[in-house]
Structures are given as structure tokens and as C-alpha cells.
Amino acid sequence: MKKIKVAQYEYKNEFGSITLKNLQVFLDPEDVKKYNSGVDLEKLDYGLSAETIRNAEEKLAIEFFKEKYGPVVDRVYQLNINELEAIQRRLDLNNVEFAKVLGVNKGSYSNILKRGKLLHSTALFAMDKLGRELLEPGAAKRSIGESVPFKAVSERVKKEIKDTFCRLTKQRTKKKKLPR
């Protein structure tokens, strides 16, 4: 495998897409020649480093949470099944564990997946667990009794997630002020 530098690369997952700049991509020597002759990278067999994937996944999860948390809480936006499954994968939980985290039994969770419709409370729990996971990686597994080592989270990420939780709380309390 040979490393080449790509000026722009669009990384996609269930949470959305992000453009990565000046990215190192791994290609076979034959594919490097094809790439240099103008063949689109998507048509070649290439690889990304685990760190690049982890960082991109983290950024997309944070942006998804910041964008969707408030609308879900306010019942303006309803999560779809793909987004719910993306949250489950981000939390690194199987169906039974995710059902426990959501506070439903595994049969109910299977029915949610089959029907394709979520209750508001299920979507709310899922978004809350995603936010808590972004603040404290491993929180979802610890909530069901698993022993998971604590990982440090950057102050920037903590601030973004806490601001999202707090901004919503401030907006809701402003709306609920009683007249004097």
C-alpha cells in the first residue's frame, strides 16, 4: 500500500457527510497510477486510517446531535429508523443492550425496527444517550452495568455538547415564564 495525499475527500455515514481536506489515503501501487491518470478515487480500492475514520465519525455525531437534539425535544423533528440504528452503532450496543438503554424490552425494540415508527420518548432517550456518550465515551455501556474504561474528551467537544443541552433548557424556561 502506498500513501497519497488527496486535497478533498467527502466522508459519509448515517449522520451525514463531512469534507476532509489534505487527507492521506492508502492505495495499491497500481491504483496510484490510475488515480494520477484521472480515475475517480471512489472507483478504486482505497483505505483510510482508523484515526481518520474515528475523527470523522466523531465530528459527524457531534454535528448530528447539535442539529437534531432541540427539534426532537420540541417535537418538530422525528428520528427515522436509520438514524436510530446509527445512534445504536455509535453507542456500540447490540439490540438487547440498546433496548435496555432506551428503557424498553427487546421485543418492543424489534417491533420499533419492524414498524419503522418511533415514539417521541424513544427518540428522546436515544438523543439523550447520544449526547451523554459524546460527553463521556462508554457512558451507555456503563449504564447497563458493563465495565468500560473512561476516555478523555476534549474541552471543545464538552462545551459544544453542554451548550446544546443548556441552550435548549434556557429556551424552554424563557417560554414558560408566568406573567406577574
Mean pLDDT of 36-40: 84
pLDDT at 178: 38
**CA 4, CA 68: separation in Å to the nearest integer?**
36
pTM for the full predicted model? 0.81
CA 163 vs CA 26, 101, 103, 169: distances in Å? 37, 23, 26, 10
* 4: β partners: 25
**Lateral strand order in the sheet of 2-13:** 2-13, 16-27, 46-47
Q: Out of 64-78, 126-140, 143-157, which region has the weakest mean confidence (pLDDT)?
A: 143-157
Displacement of CA 51 from its chain's centroid (Å): 16
For 133, the enclosing helix (H) or strand (E) is helix 120-135
pLDDT digits (tens, 9 = 90+) for 65-116: 999 999 999 899 999 999 999 999 999 999 999 999 988 888 888 888 888 8
More confident call, 60 vs 147: 60
**CA 141, CA 58: separation in Å to the nearest integer?**
17
